[in-house]
Amino acid sequence: MKNKKIMLIFFVVGMLVPLSGFSQIVRQSFEQLDDLQKSQKRFVVVFINTDWCSYCQVMKNTTFKDEKIVELLNQNFWFVDLNAEEKRNIIFNGYTFKFRPTGNSTGIHELAEQLATLDGEVTYPTLCVLNANYEIIFQYNQLLSANDLKLLLKKMLKSA
pLDDT at 16: 43
pLDDT at 1: 55
pLDDT at 20: 42
pLDDT at 9: 44
pLDDT at 117: 96
pLDDT digits (tens, 9 = 90+) for 62-74: 999 999 999 999 9
User: What's the CA gap between 46 and 115, in Å, rounded?
Assistant: 8
pLDDT at 160: 77
The stretches in the chain having pLDDT less than 70 are 1-22
pLDDT at 2: 52
For the chain, list the domains and their CATH numbers: 24-159 (3.40.30.10)
